[in-house]
Amino acid sequence: MKQHLGALALLVADYDQAIAWYTRVMNFELIEDTRLDEEKRWVVLAPRGSSETRLLLARASNEEQRASIGHQAGGRVFLLLNTDDFWRDYERMKAAGCTFCEEPREEAYGSVVVFQDLYGNKWDLLQRK
């Protein structure tokens, strides 16, 4: 049996704002943007070169969901973005205006830095050894 995570749903306040940020700052590819009804769209993004896991942008549709935007992991790092060139991606993201929570550091497992997306969700940018 073979399984993999196809997509992770990420609550956002606005589809277009989120698409712009993830494609400009994180250099993600817009894979699909299909209107489902007057308010809902199926918006899928992925890191360039990724072939399996996708990010599904889910626009918050009620107060409970809106309150969770940016806090889907309770303040902890929520997602880990693996890269094959840490310093290339760190410098590109920094130049694009990404907010980093710390200075890059070397750990036993690789190079890592915590950053925030446009809503405050924490991510790791990680190049494993």
**DSSP result, 19-83:** HHHHHHTS--EEEEEEE-SSS-EEEEEE-TT--S-EEEEEE--SHHHHHHTT-TTTTSEEEEEE-
Residue 26 has pLDDT above 90, yes or no: yes
pTM of the model: 0.92
Strand 99-100 to 54-59 pairing = unpaired
Residue 1 has pLDDT above 90, yes or no: no
Rounded to an integer, what distance in angstroms lies between the CA atom of residue 55 and that of residue 26? 12
Phi, then psi, of 97 in degrees rounded to 5: 100, 15
What is the predicted pLDDT for the residue at 2?
87
- pLDDT bracket for residue 4 (50, 70, 90): confident
The average pLDDT across 114-118 equals 97
pLDDT tens, 73-107?
999 999 999 999 999 999 999 999 999 999 999 99
pLDDT tens, 33-88?
999 999 999 999 999 989 888 999 999 999 999 999 999 999 999 999 999 999 99
- Among residues 128, 121, 12, the alpha carbon closest in space to that of 77 is found at 121
Rounded to an integer, what distance in angstroms lies between the CA atom of residue 43 and that of residue 58? 8
Residue 20 has pLDDT above 90, yes or no: yes
